């Protein structure tokens, strides 16, 4: 197969594909030329930067494209139903980065609880704000999980080990395999959780799942973490809630626009931010690469 890798891939995986007899081209194409470029490839491998939309598919099927692989969990950047309706298969690597994203979410929880991000910045600026940074202990607090898939379950295990109470909501309903955690509605969860972490795809209507009304129901001492998809939390409403003291803090790895230009958000003293690095660990990249190779070999 002739394979296009647009957003980078683990080198060992590329070498394995080449050893298996495939041709691999590493190149990013801007949206206006992507569709035409895809005509020359059997398969394209993307991460989050490249968007494969219906217009790209329409052009690509004039050539030989038959497989789109998303190296990661979410496929929001691919028009999946449209691609498959045109005979182009879409695959992803849902299990590969679960542990990495869960660990980043947990890291952000610690950063918020103990002012790690804020103190790191101020002390480098010559400030010694010892008295201002009285934090809280995570142990004994309630973690509310919106969505209860692989990443959420991985985070739940870690939170449980730290002495947290775990509650969750999910569109599939209660998961009987986890009786130690409490299932409840999203509305109930937002009211009781000390930390709320989102682990769901973007809804079809692209509307925020947590907006001004939802934030208003949370404890003023609570924190919200989003390592899932930019836009799940209304950014303007979040800044407003933080400014008005209706929320203790927030942590974001994903944004509506990436790279984000929302200075009011990423410079906010109550916000811990990272640049969409949930799956960016050596281990996760190795697993993603291996899974991509497996998908291509089974497809070929």
Distance CA 35, CA 58 (A): 8
Q: What is the pLDDT of residue 48?
A: 87
Task: Choose among 143, 65, 51: nearest CA to 106.
Answer: 143
Q: Which residues pair with 44 in a beta bridge?
A: 4, 68
Rounded to 5 degrees, φ, ψ at 225 are -125, 130
Rounded to 5 degrees, φ, ψ at 192 are -100, -20
Angle at 21 between CA 20 and CA 22, to 5 degrees: 100
Give one DSSP letter per residue of 70-133, joined into a string.
ESSS--TTB-HHHHHHTT-EEEE-TTTTHHHHHHHHHHHHHHHHTTHHHHHHHHHTT---GGG-
Rounded to 5 degrees, φ, ψ at 69 are -120, 130
Distance CA 209, CA 78 (A): 20
Distance CA 33, CA 56 (A): 9
Task: Choose among 188, 269, 186, 192: nearest CA to 233.
Answer: 186
Q: What is the pLDDT of residue 73?
A: 85
Tokens of 142: 């309630």
- Active-site amino acid positions: 229, 258, 276
Q: What is the pLDDT of residue 58?
A: 98
Per-residue pLDDT of the chain (300 residues; tens, 9 = 90+): 999 999 999 999 999 999 999 999 999 999 999 999 999 999 999 998 999 999 999 999 999 999 999 998 889 899 999 999 999 999 999 889 999 999 999 999 999 999 999 999 999 999 999 999 999 999 999 999 999 999 999 999 999 999 999 999 999 999 999 999 999 999 999 999 999 999 999 998 989 999 999 999 999 999 999 999 999 999 999 999 999 999 999 999 999 999 999 999 999 999 999 999 999 999 999 999 999 999 999 997
Torsion of CA 284, 290, 296, 300, to 10 degrees: -170
Q: What is the pLDDT of residue 259?
A: 94
Torsion of CA 281, 282, 288, 291, to 10 degrees: -150
pTM of this prediction?
0.90
Distance CA 227, CA 22 (A): 34
């Amino acid at each position: 197969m002739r394979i296009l890798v647009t957003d980078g891939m683990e080198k060992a995986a590329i070498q394995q594909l080449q050893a298996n007899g495939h041709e691999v081209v590493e190149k990013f194409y801007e949206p206006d030329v992507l569709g035409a470029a895809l005509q020359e490839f059997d398969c394209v491998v993307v991460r989050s930067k490249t968007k494969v939309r219906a217009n790209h598919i329409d052009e690509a099927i004039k050539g030989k494209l038959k497989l789109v692989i998303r190296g990661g969990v979410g496929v929001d950047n691919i028009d999946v139903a449209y691609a498959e309706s045109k005979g182009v298969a879409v695959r992803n690597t849902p299990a590969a980065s679960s542990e990495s994203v869960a660990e980043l979410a947990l890291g952000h929880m610690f950063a918020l609880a103990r002012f790690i991000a804020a103190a790191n910045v101020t002390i480098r600026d010559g400030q010694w704000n010892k008295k201002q940074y009285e934090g809280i202990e995570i142990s004994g607090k309630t973690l509310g999980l919106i969505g209860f898939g692989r990443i959420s379950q991985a985070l739940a295990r870690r939170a449980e080990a730290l002495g947290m109470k775990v509650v969750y909501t999910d569109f599939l309903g209660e998961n009987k395999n986890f009786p130690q955690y409490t299932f409840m509605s999203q509305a109930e969860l937002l009211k009781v959780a000390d930390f709320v972490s989102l682990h769901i795809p973007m809804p079809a209507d692209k509307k925020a799942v947590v907006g001004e009304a939802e934030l208003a129901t949370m404890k003023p001492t609570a924190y919200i973490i989003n390592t899932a998809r930019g836009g799940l939390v209304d950014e303007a409403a979040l800044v407003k809630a933080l400014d008005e003291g209706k929320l203790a803090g927030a942590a974001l790895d994903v944004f509506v626009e990436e790279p984000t230009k929302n200075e009011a958000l990423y410079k906010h003293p109550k916000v811990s931010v990272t640049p969409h690095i949930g799956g960016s660990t050596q281990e996760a990249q190795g697993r993603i690469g291996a899974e991509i190779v497996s998908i291509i070999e089974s497809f070929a």
